[in-house]
Amino acid sequence: MIPLNWIVGLGAALFAIGAVGVMVRKNPLIMFMAAEMMWNAAALVFVAYARSFHAMSGQVMAFIIIGTAAAEVGIGLAIIVSVYHHRHRLDIDEVSQLKG
Amino acid sequence: MTYALWPEYSVVIGVFVTMIAVMVFNRRSIQAYWVGLATIVVSGIITIADWSSKSLPVALYGHAVTVDAFSLVVNGLVLVAAAGALMIGWNDKRYGPDFPVLVLLALLGMMVLGLANNFVVLFIGIELLSLPLYILAASRGTGESGEAGLKYLLLGAFSSGILLFGLALLYGASGTLVFTHLDPAHMILPLAGAGLALTVVGLVFKLGIVPFHMWIPDVYEGSPLPVTTYMAFGTKVGAAAILMRFLFFGFSLDAGWWGPALGYLAVLTMVVGNLLALAQKDLKRLLAYSGIANAGYLLVGISAHNMFGARALLFYLLPYGLAVLAAFAVIQFVAGERDSLSLDDLTGLAYRSPWLAAFLTVAMLSLAGIPLTGGFVGKFYLIQAALFANQPGLAIGLVVGAMVGLAAYVRPLQRAFSKAAGESSEPIRWPVAGSIVLVVAVVATIGLGVYPAPVVHIVNHSAAFYWLH
Amino acid sequence: MIGFVILAIIALGGGIGVIVARQPVHSALFLIMNILALAIFYILLSAEFLAAAQVIVYAGAIMVLFLFVVTLLTAGKDDREPKENLAGQRLTAGILAVLVGGGLAVVGVLYPSRAIGLGLPHNFGNLRGMGVTLWGPDFIYLAAVALMLLTAAVGVLVLNRPRRQVKPAPRLEERES
């Protein structure tokens, strides 16, 4: 029997790693992957709790997360490619004029 | 037989018909705009028909969605937003033939947010709303537009991640996905507290409240003008509606958990947003900071947590949105082929086009909350709600914020009414569709300020939603 | 329990690899490792269908797309990140995120949810169980995901349609001359 609360802890750790990645890295591709990891961590926690309640609802939510992630990645990569075509350089701070 | 969900279904059908119209009439894509507008009108008619039907409120799909007076008012507001954005960008070649399709898809997301009663529907609504807007923000194809889309995408994915993890913890604490089945008294407290905090942070990110607002000005500035209009009006309606529904349905008995925190955020947002608006030189950025400040006003209605708060929030969304529509329509006319407008470009507007200057004045004064405009009545109701909730701090913060805001909104007017230094430039073109939006928005703004009773009646009826479920 | 520890180490290692890797290609490969570890967790949690979906959709489709774009955009380029002026701010945000995540992990471990002691229901999490749910009472969720994928298809068309060179509008030029 696997310890469900430890899986939730693992999910929280992955969530934190993803959040750190989004905040610290500047390459949009890596930031985007880190955000995907946050979504994955949430899906893992949903599945763990679904197992604990013996209810399918959490698994349905995880399935919706996976499907939405697919759509989001399609759009996100299209945007990244089109930005790259304009700038020939990928760097979130360099491309944007942060004016406060 | 109930037609409860037909406003949403008709939009789905409209999406497909519009796509077919784009495919059939490839280059001359005006037909797609007409189909999109017809869809919005049909959906609006069904919403009005639902309003007078006796079968509401009704819970459908195993309590996943609830159609009630609240969701119908949200429907009405986002339909106005979509119609306004569509007509401001009417048949503009710069935005491509797929503009109406994406506007309708985002409209669907906003409508879904109004009737969500379940974590899955909440998440689906947020994403249905966000995905088309990422595309629209980047659709212009210029450098700034792409950056706006990229920034919006990364921040959106990040905040959705926070939201999802919060929902997961809430699911673990309560064992249910349905808002109305959440029972804070029987939850595992630390889990529920952490989950609620993360969920609220995720939603507040979408609404643009101050510690989480840094993406808004860049995204608003870089996006094409009609898209910025749509974001400033529609997404604020959607995010405020889902935040209110989630907190009032799920945690209404434990307002002590979230009320004070949201109150502090509201005061901070109102003051900081208006202060930063003072320093802006670009009109779109100024309106972006104004949008942040107005999100703070909306949060007052939520953190007041009573029926007056709900009523004031629903009422305030309308004059705010109308003022946004009018202001962006003026910017669109004056900017012409360009995509942004600095304050200096406004110089001498009153001599080039007195009517535009007058309309801009009405919009700005309504945003600032001067009497005889809708913005004043909305702020009045918000202050009333804060006082009835025994939270004078909120009311004081709102008044201080509005005072600072007045200074920010007067600056563009000062430019518009000062004499232009050099030569007078060419006359300003008035596109027909945009002019309709502008005139309707301005007349409605003044109308709301002079005679708000009909709208107040509607929102009163609607704000009773959370006693009835 | 030993299996859990090994899998957790693989998942965490993959996660840390994503955010410390220099090259986006390495990040993508680490993320695939992380995703496969999660798929095995799904099997252990009796979510067979989701495990399959995770491998097919995430590892099979999403990550291949990622790898494709990464190689398309950054192949053969030195992608070292330049020094920046916002380093302190980013570091603070990172430390804050670590603290919040650590707190969440402690809460998640110390407060388990109410587990049900009975045996699992029939068809829990397998293809039949998910199919009955998703094509039955939860069909609207599936329809909504379909709409999102449609949005993505439209979006790719919009964002990558051929466009003319962006330049000031001709009317403006005429006026200036």
Q: Could you tell me if B215 and B304 lie in one domain?
A: no
Q: Could you tell me if B226 and B329 lie in one domain?
A: no
CB contact under 8 A, A63 and C108: no
Tokens of B110: 């906003």
Residues of chain A with C-beta less than 8 angstroms from the C-beta of B169: 45
pLDDT at C164: 52
C-alpha distances in Å from residue B199, one per residue of A35, B246, B344, B407, C99: 16, 10, 42, 35, 18
Q: Into how many domains does chain B fold?
A: 2
In the predicted structure, residue C171 carries a pLDDT above the cut 50: no
Nearest CA among C6, C51, B126, C152 for reference residue A43: C51
Higher model confidence: residue C77 or residue C171?
C77
C-alpha distances in Å from residue A31, one per residue of A1, A17, A21, C19, C21: 35, 11, 6, 8, 12
Instruction: Give the pLDDT band of residue C166 (cuts 50, 70, 90).
Output: very low
Q: Which residue type occupies C152?
A: A
| A&B contacts, CB < 8 Å | 128
Closest approach of chain A CAs to the CA of B201, in angstroms? 14
Tokens of A78: 């299209």
- Whole-prediction pTM value? 0.91
Q: Could you tell me if B222 and B278 lie in one domain?
A: no
Contact B374, B362 (CB under 8 A): no
- Nearest CB partner across the interface for C38, out of A24, A40, A64: A40
Higher model confidence: residue B101 or residue A97?
B101
Which of A68, A94, A97 to probe the B interface (max B CBs under 10 A)? A68
- Nearest CB partner across the interface for C105, out of A12, A34, A43: A12
- State the greatest distance between any 2 C-alpha atoms of chain A, in Å, as a whole number: 54
> Under DSSP, is residue B67 helix (H, G, I), strand (E, B) or coil?
strand
CB contact under 8 A, A39 and B161: yes
Contact B273, B210 (CB under 8 A): yes
Task: Residue A33: count other Cβ atoms within 10 Å of its Cβ.
Answer: 28
Residues of chain C with C-beta less than 8 angstroms from the C-beta of B188: 111, 113-114
Closest approach of chain C CAs to the CA of B386, in angstroms? 32
Q: Could you tell me if B57 and B175 lie in one domain?
A: yes
Contact B463, B381 (CB under 8 A): no
CB contact under 8 A, C148 and B102: no
CB contact under 8 A, A80 and B150: yes
Last residue of a domain, one of B235, B250, B265: B250
Q: Which residue type occupies B41?
A: V
CB contact under 8 A, A61 and B123: yes
- Which residues, 6 or more positions from C29, have their beta carbon under 8 angstroms from its beta carbon? C17, C67
Task: Residue C2: count other Cβ atoms within 10 Å of its Cβ.
Answer: 6
Q: What are phi and psi of B369, to 5 degrees?
A: 90, 45
**Start-end of H helices in B279-391:** 283-304, 307-335, 349-352, 354-368, 374-388
Task: Residue C9: count other Cβ atoms within 10 Å of its Cβ.
Answer: 12
User: Which value does ipTM take for this structure?
Assistant: 0.89
pLDDT at C82: 54
Rounded Cα distance, C16 and C30, in Å: 8
Chain A residue closest in CA terms to B151: A92
CB contact under 8 A, B134 and C158: no
- Which residues, 6 or more positions from C81, have their beta carbon under 8 angstroms from its beta carbon? A25, A26, A27, A91
Ranges under pLDDT 50 in chain B: 1, 469
Q: Which residue type occupies B405?
A: G
A50 CB near a chain C CB, below 8 Å? yes
CA quadruple B149, B33, B322, B10: dihedral positive or negative? negative
- Which residues, 6 or more positions from B19, have their beta carbon under 8 angstroms from its beta carbon? B101, C154
Residues of chain A with C-beta less than 8 angstroms from the C-beta of B158: 19, 22, 35, 38
In the predicted structure, residue C170 carries a pLDDT above the cut 70: no
Q: Could you tell me if B245 and B280 lie in one domain?
A: no
Contact B165, B194 (CB under 8 A): no
CATH code given to domain C1-74: 1.20.120.1200
Which of C111, C132, C134, C174 to probe the B interface (max B CBs under 10 A)? C111
- Nearest CB partner across the interface for A79, out of B119, B138, B162: B138
Partner chains of A (3+ C-beta pairs under 8 Å) = B, C
Q: Could you tell me if B59 and B167 lie in one domain?
A: yes
Residues of chain C with C-beta less than 8 angstroms from the C-beta of A14: 11-12, 15, 34
- The H helix count followed by the E strand count for chain B is 20, 2
Rounded (10°) angle between helices B432-450 and B354-368? 40
Closest approach of chain C CAs to the CA of A93, in angstroms? 9
> Under DSSP, is residue B353 helix (H, G, I), strand (E, B) or coil?
coil
Rounded Cα distance, B104 and B107, in Å: 5
Peptide bond into B211 cis (omega under 30): no
Q: Could you tell me if B439 and B415 lie in one domain?
A: yes
User: Which of left, alpha, beta for B305 (phi over 0: left; psi -120 to 50: alpha)?
Assistant: left
Instruction: Give the pLDDT band of residue C162 (cuts 50, 70, 90).
Output: low
Residues of chain B with C-beta less than 8 angstroms from the C-beta of C154: 19, 98, 101-102, 105, 135
CB contact under 8 A, B150 and A72: no
Q: Which of residues 46-65 of A touch B (CB under 8 A)?
A: 46, 48-49, 52-53, 55, 57-58, 60-61, 64-65
Residues β-bridged to residue B116:
B65
Last residue of a domain, one of B221, B250, B279: B250
Rounded Cα distance, B462 and B448, in Å: 18
Q: Could you tell me if B288 and B174 lie in one domain?
A: no
C6 CB near a chain A CB, below 8 Å? no
Closest approach of chain B CAs to the CA of A1, in angstroms? 19
pLDDT at B370: 86
User: Which of left, alpha, beta for B390 (phi over 0: left; psi -120 to 50: alpha)?
Assistant: left
pLDDT at B460: 83
CB contact under 8 A, C45 and A12: no
Residues of chain C with C-beta less than 8 angstroms from the C-beta of A30: 18-19, 21, 24, 27
Rounded Cα distance, A18 and B307, in Å: 39
Q: Could you tell me if B22 and B77 lie in one domain?
A: yes
**Lowest-confidence segment of A22-26, A36-40, B291-295 by average pLDDT:** A22-26
Nearest CA among B319, A12, B232 for reference residue C105: A12
Give the range of the structural domain holding residue B267, as residue numbers without chain letter: 254-469
Q: Could you tell me if B434 and B465 lie in one domain?
A: yes
Rounded Cα distance, B440 and B226, in Å: 17
B122 CB near a chain C CB, below 8 Å? no
Chain C residue closest in CA terms to A50: C45
Higher model confidence: residue C89 or residue B288?
B288
Angle at C66 between CA C63 and CA C69, to 5 degrees: 155
Rounded Cα distance, B412 and B416, in Å: 6
- Strand runs labelled E in B54-122: 58-60, 65-67
Residues of chain C with C-beta less than 8 angstroms from the C-beta of B127: 148
User: What b/e string do you get for B50-80 counting C-beta neighbours within 10 Å, with b at 16 or more?
Assistant: bbeeeebbebebebbbbbbbbbbbbbbbbbb
CB contact under 8 A, B164 and A65: yes
DSSP string spanning chain C?
Answer: -HHHHHHHHHHHHHHHHHHH-SSHHHHHHHHHHHHHHHHHHHHHTT-HHHHHHIIIIIIIIIHHHHHHHHHHHHTT---PPPP-S-HHHHHHHHHHHHHHHHHHHHHHHHS------SPPPTTTTSHHHHHHHHTTTTHHHHHHHHHHHHHHHHHHHHHTS--PPP---HHHHHHH-
CB contact under 8 A, A100 and B146: no
Last residue of a domain, one of B215, B250, B285: B250
Cα dihedral: B445, B380, B263, B71 (round 10)? -50
Rounded Cα distance, B138 and B321, in Å: 23
Q: Could you tell me if B446 and B355 lie in one domain?
A: yes
Contact B240, B302 (CB under 8 A): yes
Q: What are phi and psi of B66, to 5 degrees?
A: -125, 120
User: Which of left, alpha, beta for C169 (phi over 0: left; psi -120 to 50: alpha)?
Assistant: beta
pLDDT at B424: 59
CB contact under 8 A, A36 and B157: yes
Closest approach of chain A CAs to the CA of B136, in angstroms? 10
- Nearest CB partner across the interface for C148, out of B65, B128, B139: B128
Ranges of each domain in chain C? 1-74, 86-162
- Which residues, 6 or more positions from B345, have their beta carbon under 8 angstroms from its beta carbon? B283, B334, B335
C-alpha distances in Å from residue B11, one per residue of A79, B407, C27: 26, 41, 40
Q: Which residue type occupies B340?
A: S
Which CB contacts under 8 angstroms, 24+ apart, belong to B306-310?
A: B306/B385, B306/B388, B306/B389, B307/B463, B307/B464, B307/B467, B308/B381, B308/B384, B308/B385, B308/B388, B308/B389, B308/B463, B309/B382, B309/B385, B309/B386, B309/B389, B310/B70, B310/B244, B310/B248, B310/B462, B310/B463, B310/B465, B310/B466
Q: Could you tell me if B341 and B233 lie in one domain?
A: no
pLDDT in tens, C10-59: 999 999 999 888 888 899 999 999 999 999 999 988 889 999 999 999 88
pLDDT at A98: 41
Instruction: Count CA within 13 A, CB hemisphere, residue B437.
Output: 32
Which of B26, B128, B164 to probe the C interface (max C CBs under 10 A)? B128
- Which residues, 6 or more positions from B48, have their beta carbon under 8 angstroms from its beta carbon? none
Q: How much is the CA Rg of chain A, to the nearest whole Å? A: 17
C-alpha distances in Å from residue C13, one per residue of A16, B204, C30: 13, 32, 8
Residues of chain B with C-beta less than 8 angstroms from the C-beta of A80: 150
Task: Residue B88: count other Cβ atoms within 10 Å of its Cβ.
Answer: 26
A23 CB near a chain C CB, below 8 Å? yes
A28 CB near a chain C CB, below 8 Å? no
pLDDT in tens, B409-446: 888 888 888 877 665 566 777 888 888 889 999 999 99
The overall average pLDDT reported for chain A is: 84
Residues of chain C with C-beta less than 8 angstroms from the C-beta of B426: 175
Closest approach of chain B CAs to the CA of A75, in angstroms? 7
